[in-house]
Amino acid sequence: MATIDFLTQKISQAKRKKAKLFCVFLTLGYPSLPATERLIFSAERSGVDILELGFPFSDPLADGPTIQFSSEKALQKNVNIHDGFRLVSKLRAKGCKMPVVFFGYFNPVCSYGAKDFARDAKKAGFGGLIIPDLPPEEEQAFQKECRKRKLRRIELVAPTTSDKRAKMLVQRSQGFVYYVSLRGVTGARKALPSDLKAHLAKLRRMTKKPVLAGFGISTPKQAADISRMADGVIVGSAVIEHLKRGIPAAERFIKKMSQAVHGV
């Protein structure tokens, strides 16, 4: 089952049905590894389309205070890449078919060994990778290993990205394009940027790949509004904030956000 390309299947299915994609970010090992496992199965039951599994790292480039907090807590328990691979293998063995995308930084990947990482990530059941500090022009050997293993490299485009570079990024991005909807790091926001609609429209004209918007989306209304502008929505920090109140609070929030994105 680990070799099935669930990510490509899910994206093709959404395109056929003209459905929006809902992606949830969880930090591996926060508040514990069993909690992460429970939340993933619960998210799948709630209609979440894609899981973005964040691997804790001590020096996160793009993460705001909320995700930094969850990473620190996981690192205190010595959560590492091996734990993530074991968990996803276990999920697949238990019948989880939700696509899982690795979100992390290149330093731990490099320490693990780029070739070994690509092999073991695919074997575990990952479908794609988001590595914010690895530009597509760098580490060609690793890029080659990802292509060989059919691990989709998902690129991020920001509001400050030039049109020329944005075109290159959407061309290279595989699976979907991750649009960073605000300037700065991750974190829930009360209001979203006024130029978000125009940026998303421009980006969607550049590619037929789904464009998912993330960073700052924290309420069902925001999720519903953005799902009308984009092909999907990614929610992370707001999930972690609810998770601080307990697993049931996070599960209820994920279900509400899923319903908002899918127009239920």
Which residues are catalytic, by number? Answer: 52, 63
CA distance linking residue 126 with residue 152, whole number of Å = 9
H/E stretch holding 50 reads strand 50-54
* Residue of 251, 197, 250, 241 lying closest to 222 (CA atoms): 197
Nearest to 104 by CA among 70, 141, 53: 53
* The two structure tokens encoding residue 191: 């209001």
Alpha-carbon dihedral angle through residues 155, 111, 33, 213, given to the nearest 10 degrees:
-10
Decide if 261 contacts 225 (C-beta within 8 A).
no
Query: Is the CB of residue 252 less than 8 Å from the CB of residue 77?
Result: no
3-state secondary structure 183-246: CCCCCCCCCCCCCHHHHHHHHHHHCCCCEEEECCCCCHHHHHHHHHHCCEEEECHHHHHHHCCC
- 52, 236 Cβ separation under 8 angstroms: yes
